[in-house]
Amino acid sequence: MKPEFYPIFIDLRGRAALVVGAGEVGEQKIEPLLEAGAKVTVIAPWAKPAVAVWAEQGRLTYHARAFEEKDMDAAYFLVIAATDNRAVNKRIFEMAETAQRLVNVVDDPPLCNFIVPAIARSGPIQVAISSSGRSPTMAGQIKRRIQRDLLGEDTGRLASWLGEKREWLKPHLGDFKNKRVFWRAVQDSNIPGLVRSNHLATAEQRLLTLLEANLAAAGLPWPEAVERPKRLVV
């Protein structure tokens, strides 16, 4: 069976998002949107305390009333319907779909053009797990196994460290092919283990040793702004 959804990560910073419904389920959908930097508007006759607090803090806009069709006139990038009224949810879906907006009706896959996966996280690393709406419970179980077995705190530390070094060395590694050769060598070395165990100074010297070998093999000059590795590191 082919997957029904295309997996994608979206930058929501500064983008307008509408959530209709502010009960327990709505609250669960709102918080990740805020964490992602979306400009969130919530419409619901009542709201869970956390939602009210976020509104008081200025983190979102809250309208304490029922949804009205004119609410869809605003240019929302993403819409989530989390009410307990399927007729209202269906109308929200129809209007958002007609306007070609991303829309998700919670726990109703036929009324979605995107679904929210279960997410396992460690620092900048995010692993998304989806059952294409078939079994959210199973997706959640897989997420917990990945979180427990693969994504410890040291994984996030390693990803952040590699990201910093990638930006630092990007101008010096030549073309895409050579960059790929270098970073594969890094991943195959003892550097990930050194970073995971917090031996960062040793890891950096080892990185410089690999850089020296890579640049020499590629016929590229050593960058003047980078100190050469200490010879005692092997």
Domains identified in the chain, total number: 3
The yes-or-no verdict on residue 188 having pLDDT over 70 is yes
3-state secondary structure 143-176: HHHHHHHCCCHHHHHHHHHHHHHHHHHHHHCCCH
Write down the residue that tokens 């419970």 correspond to. 137
Looking at per-residue pLDDT, the higher value among 151 and 230 belongs to 151
Model confidence pLDDT, tens digit, residues 108-134: 989 999 999 999 988 888 999 998 888
Tell me, yes or no, whether 111 and 121 share the same domain: no
Tell me, yes or no, whether 133 and 205 share the same domain: no
The yes-or-no verdict on residue 32 having pLDDT over 90 is yes
pLDDT of residue 2: 59
Q: Is residue 46 part of a domain?
A: yes
Find the domain containing 65 and state its range.
16-116
pLDDT of residue 72: 93
Among 95, 116, 137, the domain-final residue is 116
Tell me, yes or no, whether 161 and 201 share the same domain: yes
The yes-or-no verdict on residue 154 having pLDDT over 80 is yes
Tell me, yes or no, whether 192 and 131 share the same domain: no
Looking at per-residue pLDDT, the higher value among 35 and 227 belongs to 35
pLDDT of residue 231: 60
Tell me, yes or no, whether 74 and 136 share the same domain: no
Tell me, yes or no, whether 108 and 158 share the same domain: no
Amino acid letter, residue 179: K
Among 68, 90, 116, the domain-final residue is 116
The yes-or-no verdict on residue 45 having pLDDT over 60 is yes
Mean pLDDT of 128-157: 89
- For the chain, the average pLDDT equals 92
CATH number of the domain at 81, please: 3.40.50.720
Tell me, yes or no, whether 177 and 112 share the same domain: no
pLDDT of residue 233: 45
Residue 186 burial class via C-beta count within 10 angstroms: exposed 0-12, middle 13-18, buried 19 and up? buried
Mean pLDDT of 93-115: 95
3-state secondary structure (DSSP) of residue 3: coil
* End-to-end Cα separation, the chain, in angstroms: 50
Q: How far apart are CA 130 and CA 203, in angstroms?
A: 35
pTM assigned to the model? 0.75
Q: Is residue 2 part of a domain?
A: no
Q: Is residue 233 part of a domain?
A: no
The yes-or-no verdict on residue 21 having pLDDT over 50 is yes
Q: Is residue 7 part of a domain?
A: no
State percent of the chain over pLDDT 70. 97
Tell me, yes or no, whether 34 and 76 share the same domain: yes
Tell me, yes or no, whether 128 and 86 share the same domain: no
Least confident of 8-17, 96-105, 115-124, 172-181: 115-124
Q: Is residue 8 part of a domain?
A: no
What are the helix (H) ranges across the chain? 24-35, 49-56, 86-98, 136-149, 153-169, 176-188, 191-196, 200-218
Q: How many CB atoms lie within 10 A of CB 203?
A: 24
Tell me, yes or no, whether 143 and 191 share the same domain: no
Q: Is residue 201 part of a domain?
A: yes
Tell me, yes or no, whether 159 and 199 share the same domain: yes
Tell me, yes or no, whether 82 and 164 share the same domain: no
pLDDT band at residue 230 under the 50/70/90 scheme: confident
Provide the CB-side half-sphere exposure for 59 (13 A, CA): 14
pLDDT of residue 225: 80
